[in-house]
Chains A and B, each alone.
Chain A
Amino acid sequence: MSKDSAKGGFWKRLVSHQMFIPLVALILLAVINLVHDPSFFKITLGTNNAGFPVLSGSLITILDYGSELAILAIGMTLVTAASGGQDISVGATIAIAGSAMLRVLCGGDSRPDALAAPIIVGFIVACLAGMACGAFNGMLVAYFKIQPMIATLILFTAGRSIAAWINNNELPIVPDPKFGYFGSFIPGIPIPTTVFIAAACIIVIALVLRFTNLGLYTQAVGINESSSRLNGINPNFIKFITFVILGLCVAVAALIKVSRLSTINYSVIAKDIEMDAILAVALGGNSLAGGKFNMWASILGAYIIQFLTTTLYKFNVSSDALAAYKAVVVIILVVVSAPVFRDAISKLTKRKAKTQKEVG
């Protein structure tokens, strides 16, 4: 009897766990692909045009292209938790950070022969630019009490123009092939560099959540700001800092994005990525109204979105319908992970368990 109830408890806990639905979605996508074409899971070792060994396969592609989104999901989760709103300027600030990086690396010349500054300097400048954008958004949200979506609308609107202005509307191309390593492969290492970068970010945030009170503070502020203040937390600063952290995530994502092709296109780089980042948070079952969050679920959500995108390309769905397919899947996932739906399901399972018990 006690064993039975423990088992029931385990199932109930599993089903009600926040990671459950994203995981089920992931498995479902994997199964669909497996049935459609088992070679989906094949990973092969080949050589690229530079003559170095690289791994390739759909799973590698998903990990590779999901990196930026996973990194952004980290920052977006924190912003959502603390402020109860979302930053919609992420794509535009990627353009700004990327543009600032290129400006430093190319020294204002659109077709330089050599790097004008070491890559690390370019990256640091990108971080500063990203954090400055984050600080601007954070200031408006935390200290001027503007709704996050409205506050970030400013950079959303103006960001790409600012990015173009930073480079005088030129589209510089980085001459050094080393810069391209961040978005592709380091010679001799067959795993995409982006995977390492994403893993590093995930490890860093894991350490931060483990060894600081960032998680507790952001959640407390997101749930009850007034109460947090009376417990000695500075809610404004916490909100502000989450935006700055997101700015840092943006800079890392910008490094990858710009590095992939060693150039930038202000109007389309990271276009609509803010929506995917917000979606990743929602798919992870986190409330977009702020408060409690599960970082790992958000990151998983990011990879699910990439999984879905790759799957849709793979199925070669018609271009006109691509967005619609994506929307349908997303609607299903979001509805299924909504608390209302979960409650209904748990009620249903309870009833079932009850009837089973009666029969038994």
Chain B
Amino acid sequence: MKKKLLSVLLTGVVAAGMLAGCGQTAAAPAATEAAAPAATEAAAPAAEPAAEPAATEEAEAEAPAASGELIKVGIINNDPNESGYRTANDADLKAMFTEENGYDASFAYSLKNDEQIAAAQKFIQDEVDYLLLSAADTAGWDSVLQDANDAGINVILFDRTIDADPSLYVASIVSDMDKEGENAVNWLADQGLDEYDIIHIQGVMGSAAQQGRTKAVDDKCAAEDNWNLVEQQTAEWNAEKAQQIVQSVIDSGKKFNVIYAENDDMAKGAVAALDAAGITHGVNGDVIVMGFDCNEWALEELLDGDWNFDQQCNPFQASYIDEIIKKLQNGETISEKVIVMDEKGFDASDITQDDVDTYGI
């Protein structure tokens, strides 16, 4: 009996721990939002530094929504601890959806689809005006989104797409992972090496980022004779696994001159292995190091010349979402359902401290 009671209590504790994240509302007095950012058209790879992320910090005061009433939004996101990308993404959303900006926002976090769906149902019951969703999994969302539509709630997807009828959501703001990969590969091709012997370190297999970033390399290696994959292996976004993979290539004595890591952490792990083996890297080094995501520390590595290239994966969707909501509130229609964000690549040879401060996450 005592035991039973205790286990019930414990489950309660665990459940409470999980829910703790869900209840949080963004109350932080964040930077007030700037005017609606400009460019939303599908950005060209070499687009000029777009204004929106910077704009968030430019603190241009603006009155709350015209109606004077707060717009209720429910935001379902992945756990902010998942990665630096997610942390930045969450911070960006929290900074945008504040009372000062005319929003009443509730946040729910989970890496599990079923918990996210449960959170969505709760938000529908709470009669939010907008449901913002970064789905953990692509499948299983049809019925709950249908419920949201029936309740007159506009659904906006950010960061990730889902396998559902496009009529169920008004817009989807995503990174184009394929384009990120192409961007990086194009940069690499421009380096004009005689031979490309690449160690390709992949993310968690099957994730959108991994698929997009891998595809570009695979296509190029298939097309060009002087592009070879020395090793292609998943390190599951884990720096230390990447370190092991590169170490094992070094141990086997195979030649390579490029490290193409699908995120910054893994690039860092790879570099640790190079350092231990006395292999030079970065600008003027023997091995070209490429990463993704543009963490602040990674851009600093570029600045120091230890790495060669980093491709941005833009976590700052809040301003795009804000713009769409404003349009809908004004009765305008959304012309483009899928909005691809601008994403830049940075080269060690021309990166500036300014870039680091602006784009580092």
Contact = CB atoms under 8 A, between A and B. Distances in A.
Q: Is this pair of chains taken from one and the same complex?
A: yes
Interface string B78-104: 011111100100000000000000000
B82 A39 contact: no
Interface residues of B, number: 49
Interface stretch (A146-154, A295-303, A345-353): A146-154
Contacts of A40: 251-252
B248 interface: yes
Interface size class of A (residues with CB under 8 A): 35 or more
Interface string A35-65: 0010110000011111000101110010001
Contacts, number: 132
A160 interface: yes
Contacts of B277: 46, 48, 54, 56
Nearest to A51: B278
B98 to A, nearest CB: 19
Contact of B251 (A49, A57, A260): A57
B205 A169 contact: no
Given A39-B253, A268-B237, A46 B244 contact: no
B245 interface: yes
A261 interface: yes
B144 to A, nearest CB: 24
A318 B218 CA distance: 13
A144 interface: yes
A267 B14 contact: no
Nearest to B306: A49
B276 A48 contact: yes
A224 interface: no
A267 B81 contact: yes
Contact of A150 (B7, B87, B231): B7
A146 B7 contact: yes
A49 B275 contact: yes
B238 interface: yes
Interface of B: 3, 6-7, 10, 13-14, 17-18, 21, 79-84, 87, 202, 205, 231-234, 236-240, 243-245, 247-253, 265, 268-269, 272, 274-280, 297
18 contacts: A39-B253, A47-B278, A49-B278, A49-B280, A50-B275, A146-B3, A154-B17, A157-B14, A157-B18, A158-B14, A164-B80, A184-B276, A261-B268, A263-B268, A313-B244, A313-B248, A313-B249, A316-B233
Given A154-B14, A265-B238, A322-B233, 9 more contacts: A49-B276, A56-B276, A169-B80, A169-B87, A260-B239, A268-B237, A314-B252, A316-B232, A319-B205
